[in-house]
Amino acid sequence: MDEARSLPSPEQDASLSPIMEHGLQRQVLVCTAKSCAANGSEAVLEAFRTRLMAESMLFHKGDRTGDIQCITCGSVGFCAIGPAVLVYPDGVWYAHVTPEDVPEIIDSHLKGGVPVERLVRKRLV
Ligand code: FES
């Protein structure tokens, strides 16, 4: 019936995807879908990327030494309480995040491991 699909080896994939070999510590996902965008999520995303880049914490094409990836995501269901920001692998979902909250999230959570409780609305772990 179905023939086994021939996939590249993990080593071959790693040569094409440097992030596979990199020791990422966390991912920060900022929802940029319609409702969060209407509440300023693009500015939140920019605040994260600017500060993380300034502190050499951001993994990106220009500098692959950072250990945090900051990316956009689609709606996660926090539409009425966004902008939503999710931090993994911690499974912490923040709501109502503004650009002014970003330094506190970076300092307390991403650097110190202590989530900013006043903004936490859901935990997956
Ligand atoms: S639009 Fe961001 S959670 Fe729905």
Please, which residues have CB within 8 angstroms of residue 76's CB and are 6 or more apart in sequence?
31, 84, 86, 93
Give yes or no for residue 18 having a pLDDT over 90: no
Dist CA 124 CA 88 (whole Å): 9
Q: What is the mean pLDDT of residues 96-117?
A: 98
Q: Which of 53, 58, 55 is nearest to 69 (CA)?
A: 58
Ligand 1 centre distance from Cα of residue 85 (Å): 10
Q: Is 85 in the pocket of ligand 1 (CB under 6 A)?
A: no
Domains of the chain (ranges; CATH) run 22-123 (3.40.30.10)
Tokens of 100: 């002014």
**Confidence (pTM):** 0.92
Q: Is the dihedral of CA 83, 86, 91, 94 positive or negative?
A: negative
Give the tens place of pLDDT for each residue, 21-74. Answer: 888 999 999 999 999 999 999 999 999 999 999 999 999 988 888 999 999 999
Cβ–Cβ < 8 Å for 10, 19: no
Residue 125 confidence (pLDDT): 78
Residue whose CB lies within 8 A of the most ligand 1 atoms, among 32, 36, 81, 86, for a mutation test: 36
Q: Which of 122, 26, 120 is nearest to 76 (CA)?
A: 122
**Cα distance between the two ends of the chain:** 40
Atom of ligand 1 nearest to the CA of 41: 2
Please, which residues have CB within 8 angstroms of residue 13's CB and are 6 or more apart in sequence?
20
Ligand 1 centre distance from Cα of residue 61 (Å): 27
Ligand 1 centre distance from Cα of residue 57 (Å): 26
Give yes or no for residue 2 having a pLDDT over 70: no
